[in-house]
């Protein structure tokens, strides 16, 4: 008999006023009892609408049934068949716009907590089991993967499971891409990311760090001299965008990339125990309305800022951030300045930020993105007194690879042109996926692209 409660079993969280002073994980995860109780809310629909909402086709009703039966190890194996990074997806996927959106239970009440269950299963497995990958027959064919973020790791894992010799080239000193430098510890603990990467290594994948492809080796050299028969580019969306307003080069203005990389990858929150510093004023303005803006704002709060503002030019309804992130940010005391657009950043005489001038906005007709276009209200300018400004308005793909690879076509905005189903690019044997193709998107979409590309690379190499 299913559990007919209209609400998800609540997941324990750190209290907002305690967690906004530490970098420990916000959500604490289900206990075994909670997981079983939540799993029993699943109706085991025959037509499985949830699965169609998952970019990597996790066998959702099947794994949830196993959880309900208390078969957690089997549940993990079921997820792992199609998803090589379950502990990560359980935490950072926007389930509300994917699997959970299609859940029949969501028609009346809350959907099944698919993400929470996935997270529980992955954590349970990590705590209780040792992953031993099955031996696969080697095909003796080498594939190179550029970038060790979600797209690259997924593609590498899938190809290794098929028997390919896979080498990942990572530019940073630590693998993980955005999972390491972008998403904060309190949302995605780094030790957990490294464990998931360890699992990919156990499949036989070699990861070479400190290798900037396009500089130290070109894609052509990988293919012609280093013996790689196919290449997957999952190098992410690297270049931070700025607004082009006055004062953006003042001291105290950060791109969200820089701010978060200092904190997450370089562990600046432990300075001077670690050597990389970060500057956070008493008052901080974060410009933007996506998940990255929420991450930056919540990190600034944790580093001791008293007032942290989210400055966003549209209204909350148009914010691209996940509902949960907005909710968490508000709970932690982040101040939302909606329908406000920065017009310039004001500086002291010696070049430090002292304020950000904004203008009030109102929403007009929908624009090309379908969202209502914000229009400035003339004469409504005002100044927020802040010492730190963090720009989180997006990023574009890094040109290092496209500019060093003849025959690899890209869009004018920088994204690599790749087939949506296969990831095939204009250059034979070269595939691409994730933010390098789409521009900044989500972890799970990148994983989906890595997965499709792995399948396409397998087909390409079999027919070569």
Partner 1 sequence: MFKIVRKEVLNSSVKLMEIEAPYVARKAEPGQFIILRIDENGERIPLTIADQDRQRGTVTIIFQEVGKTTKQLGQLNEGDYLLDFVGPLGKASHLEGYRKVAVIGGGLGSAIAYPQAKKLHALGAEVHVITGFRNKDLIILEKEMKEVSDRLVVATDDGSNGNKGFVTDMLKKLIEEGNKYDLVIAIGPLIMMKMVSKLTKEYGIKTLVSMNPVMIDGTGMCGGCRLTVGGKTKFACVDGPDFDGHEVDFDEAIRRQQMYKNEERQALEAHECRLEGIRNA
H-helix segments, 40-85:
49-52, 60-68, 72-80
The yes or no reply on residue 279 touching partner 1 (CB under 8 A) is: yes
From candidates 129, 136, 216, 323, binder to partner 1 by CB under 8 A: 216
Tokens describing residue 30:
């289900």
CB of 399 to partner 1, least distance (A): 8
The yes or no reply on residue 257 touching partner 1 (CB under 8 A) is: yes
Binders of partner 1 among 355-414, rule CB under 8 A? 398-400
Are 424 and 418 in contact by the 8 Å Cβ rule? The answer is: yes
DSSP character at residue 207: E
Are 298 and 332 in contact by the 8 Å Cβ rule? The answer is: yes
DSSP character at residue 97: G
Q: At what angle do helices 60-68 and 32-39 cross, to 10 degrees?
A: 130
The yes or no reply on residue 190 touching partner 1 (CB under 8 A) is: no
The yes or no reply on residue 227 touching partner 1 (CB under 8 A) is: no
Q: Which is nearer to partner 1, 329 or 386 (CB)?
A: 386
The yes or no reply on residue 238 touching partner 1 (CB under 8 A) is: yes
Query: Quick one: which segment of 66-74, 187-195, 210-218, 324-332 binds partner 1 (CB under 8 A)?
Result: 210-218
Number of H helices, E strands in the chain: 17, 16
From candidates 104, 106, 139, 212, binder to partner 1 by CB under 8 A: 212
From candidates 173, 327, 411, 464, binder to partner 1 by CB under 8 A: 173
CA nearest 177: which of 201, 153, 157, 144?
153
CB of 403 to partner 1, least distance (A): 9
Distances in Å between the Cα of 2 and the Cα atoms of 6, 40, 60, 229 are 12, 5, 16, 51
Query: Quick one: which segment of 74-82, 95-103, 125-133, 205-213 binds partner 1 (CB under 8 A)?
Result: 205-213
From candidates 172, 201, 316, 417, binder to partner 1 by CB under 8 A: 172
From candidates 62, 229, 248, 331, binder to partner 1 by CB under 8 A: 248
The yes or no reply on residue 198 touching partner 1 (CB under 8 A) is: no
CB of 74 to partner 1, least distance (A): 38
Are 240 and 257 in contact by the 8 Å Cβ rule? The answer is: yes
Binders of partner 1 among 6-65, rule CB under 8 A? none
Tokens describing residue 275:
């050597």
Tokens describing residue 193:
């990311």
The yes or no reply on residue 215 touching partner 1 (CB under 8 A) is: yes
- In sequence order, what are the residues at sequence separation of 6 or more whose Cβ sits closer than 8 angstroms to the Cβ of residue 375? 361, 362, 363, 364
The yes or no reply on residue 277 touching partner 1 (CB under 8 A) is: yes
CA nearest 269: which of 235, 292, 306, 299?
299
The yes or no reply on residue 239 touching partner 1 (CB under 8 A) is: yes
Phi/psi for 453 (5° steps) reads -65, -35
The sign one gets for the Cα dihedral 74, 89, 207, 430 is: positive
CB of 97 to partner 1, least distance (A): 27
Q: Which is nearer to partner 1, 10 or 215 (CB)?
A: 215
CB of 215 to partner 1, least distance (A): 6
| Cα gap 247→408, rounded to integer Å | 37
Q: Which is nearer to partner 1, 258 or 419 (CB)?
A: 258
Are 296 and 319 in contact by the 8 Å Cβ rule? The answer is: no
The yes or no reply on residue 249 touching partner 1 (CB under 8 A) is: yes
**Could you tell me how many residues of this chain bind partner 1 (CB under 8 A)?**
42
| Cα gap 283→187, rounded to integer Å | 23
Binders of partner 1 among 323-352, rule CB under 8 A? 350-351
From candidates 240, 290, 448, 450, binder to partner 1 by CB under 8 A: 240
Q: Which residues pair with 308 in a beta bridge?
A: 284
From candidates 251, 323, 327, 462, binder to partner 1 by CB under 8 A: 251
User: Coil, strand, or helix at residue 123?
Assistant: helix
The yes or no reply on residue 104 touching partner 1 (CB under 8 A) is: no
The yes or no reply on residue 261 touching partner 1 (CB under 8 A) is: yes
Q: How many CA atoms lie within 13 A of 447 on its CB side?
A: 23
Residues engaged in binding partner 1 (CB under 8 A): 171-173, 181, 209-212, 215-217, 238-240, 242, 248-249, 251-252, 254-255, 257-258, 261-262, 265-267, 270-277, 279, 350-351, 398-400
């Amino acid at each position: 008999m299913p559990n007919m409660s209209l609400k998800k079993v609540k997941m324990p969280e750190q209290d907002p006023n305690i967690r906004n002073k530490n970098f420990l994980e916000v959500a604490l995860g289900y206990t075994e009892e909670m997981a079983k109780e939540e799993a029993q809310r699943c109706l085991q629909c025959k037509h499985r609408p949830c699965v169609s909402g998952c970019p990597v086709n996790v066998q959702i009703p099947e794994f949830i049934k196993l959880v309900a039966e208390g078969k957690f190890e089997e549940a993990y194996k079921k997820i792992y068949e199609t998803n090589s990074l379950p502990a990560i997806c359980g935490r950072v996927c926007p389930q509300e716009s994917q699997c959970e959106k299609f859940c029949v239970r969501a028609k009346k009440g809350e959907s099944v907590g698919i993400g929470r269950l996935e997270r529980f299963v992955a954590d349970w497995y990590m705590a209780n089991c040792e992953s031993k990958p099955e031996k696969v027959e080697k095909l003796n064919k080498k594939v190179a993967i550029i970038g060790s973020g979600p797209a690259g790791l997924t593609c590498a894992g899938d190809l290794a499971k098929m028997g390919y010799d896979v080498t990942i080239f990572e530019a940073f000193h630590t693998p993980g891409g955005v999972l390491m430098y972008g998403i904060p510890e309190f949302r995605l603990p780094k030790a957990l990311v490294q464990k998931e990467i360890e699992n990919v290594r156990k499949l036989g994948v070699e990861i070479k760090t400190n290798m900037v492809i396009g500089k130290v080796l070109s894609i052509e050299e990988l293919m012609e001299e280093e013996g790689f028969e196919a290449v997957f580019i999952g190098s992410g969306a690297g270049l931070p965008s700025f607004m082009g307003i006055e004062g953006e080069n003042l001291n105290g203005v950060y791109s969200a990339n820089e701010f978060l990389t200092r904190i997450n990858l370089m562990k600046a929150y432990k300075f001077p125990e670690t050597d990389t510093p970060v500057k956070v004023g008493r008052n901080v303005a974060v410009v933007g309305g996506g998940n990255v803006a929420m991450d930056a704002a919540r990190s600034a709060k944790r580093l001791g800022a008293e007032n942290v503002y989210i400055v966003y030019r549209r209204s909350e309804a148009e914010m691209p951030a996940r509902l949960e992130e907005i909710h968490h940010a508000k709970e932690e005391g982040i101040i939302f300045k909606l329908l406000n657009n920065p017009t310039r950043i004001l500086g002291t005489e010696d070049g430090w930020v002292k304020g950000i001038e904004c203008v009030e906005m109102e929403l007009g007709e929908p624009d090309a993105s379908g969202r209502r276009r914000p229009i400035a209200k003339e004469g409504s300018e005002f100044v927020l007194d802040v010492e730190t400004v963090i720009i989180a308005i997006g990023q574009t793909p890094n040109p290092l690879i496209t500019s060093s690879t003849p025959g690899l076509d890209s869009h004018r905005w920088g994204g690599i042109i790749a087939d949506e189903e296969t990831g095939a690019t204009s250059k034979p044997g070269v595939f691409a996926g994730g933010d390098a193709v789409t521009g900044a998107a989500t972890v799970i979409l990148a994983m989906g692209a890595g997965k499709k590309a792995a399948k396409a690379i397998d087909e390409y190499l079999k027919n070569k």
